[in-house]
Amino acid sequence: MPRAGLSRPIVVAGAAEIADQVGFDGLTLAAVAKRFGVAVPSLYKHVRGLDDLRSGVSALAIGALAAAIARGGRRTTKDRLGAMARAYRRFAVEHPGLYTATLRAPDPADQEAVAAGQALLDAVFAMMADYGLTGTDAVDATRSLRSALHGFVSLEAIGGFGLPRDVDRSFARLVRILDDALRAWGASAPRAPRGRGPSSPDR
């Protein structure tokens, strides 16, 4: 029997759960329709098609990652980096499909995704400011941090760490290395007014 009371948020949330089960690239309208017990055409009352559905899932995923990072709290700069890194890694492990959905920079025309991305950027840029990194230095540092964390969690996800060394210890060491690098970078950066980094959909 068809499910009544569907809305865009409900459809997107259901799609997000499916993405975690089958992978973001495996998300289809047919799978979402089956989940809710409706025909595929019924979904077009709530989403314009698969691309629109995936955009909605991406916005939800970015917002969820931003919220997970924000829960780490202010703390000291080093502790804040550690909390952010651990939240990032945990999100990638617990929500593999949603994590993949966060990887592409949002379409500037997609205001929902851009707003979610900006919340995530604001949190990271605020931390970078604590290291003394603002403006283009904050952008470069954010890209470097993201690349390091993404590389680690991606290798971990595919079982890429086979040496006899505890993976958690290696991750903790990576965070210490990143903290040292950001401190050195900030110490050598030109002084600038503190504040959030430049607005940009790029993460």
Q: How far is CA 11 from CA 34, 99, 102, in A?
A: 11, 19, 18
Which pLDDT band holds residue 4 (cuts at 50, 70, 90)? low
Which pLDDT band holds residue 2 (cuts at 50, 70, 90)? very low
In the predicted model, what is the mean pLDDT of residues 148-163? 95
pTM: 0.86
pLDDT digits (tens, 9 = 90+) for 130-143: 999 999 999 999 99
- The reported pLDDT for the residue numbered 116 is 85
- The reported pLDDT for the residue numbered 1 is 38
| Phi/psi of residue 120, nearest 5 degrees | -70, -45
pLDDT digits (tens, 9 = 90+) for 80-96: 899 999 999 999 999 99
Q: Which residue has the higher pLDDT, 200 or 113?
A: 113
Pick from 123, 141, 122, 145: nearest CA to 132? 141
pLDDT digits (tens, 9 = 90+) for 31-67: 999 999 999 999 999 999 999 999 999 999 999 999 9
Q: What percent of the chain has pLDDT over 90?
A: 72
Asked if 153 and 93 count as a contact pair (C-beta separation under 8 A), the reply is yes
Long-range contacts of the stretch 45-48 (C-beta < 8 A, 24+): 45/6, 46/6, 46/7, 46/8, 46/10, 46/11, 47/8, 47/11, 47/12
pLDDT > 80? residue 191: no
Asked if 30 and 21 count as a contact pair (C-beta separation under 8 A), the reply is no
Q: What percent of the chain has pLDDT over 70?
A: 90
- CA–chain centroid gap for 4, Å, is 32
